[in-house]
Amino acid sequence: MTCVKCSSSSFRLSRFRWNDLERLALLQYPVRCRNCQSRTFAGLPLALALYQARRAKRVKVS
């Protein structure tokens, strides 16, 4: 997946908003580009991988 604004492939999870419920029903979760901060939606498998990576990073730091 690449960002449509800056062509980066680096993303992080975005905060969930109530109006995102429709997209969640389509198995899409909000993500944000790390370079340009644009918000888009990614498939649930990618979002879960980002969540697991973030969680693993927290465990190593603590």
What integer is the mean pLDDT of 7-21?
A: 91
Global pTM value: 0.76
Average pLDDT of the chain, as a whole number: 88
Residue ranges of the domains in the chain? 11-61
- Is the per-residue pLDDT at 62 higher than 60? no
Residue 61 pLDDT exceeds 60: no
Res 59 pLDDT > 80: no
Query: Amino acid identity, residue 13?
Result: L
Per-residue model confidence as pLDDT tens digits over 22-50: 999 999 999 999 999 999 999 988 888 88
Q: What are phi and psi of 5, to 5 degrees?
A: -90, -45
Nearest to 41 by CA among 31, 50, 33: 31
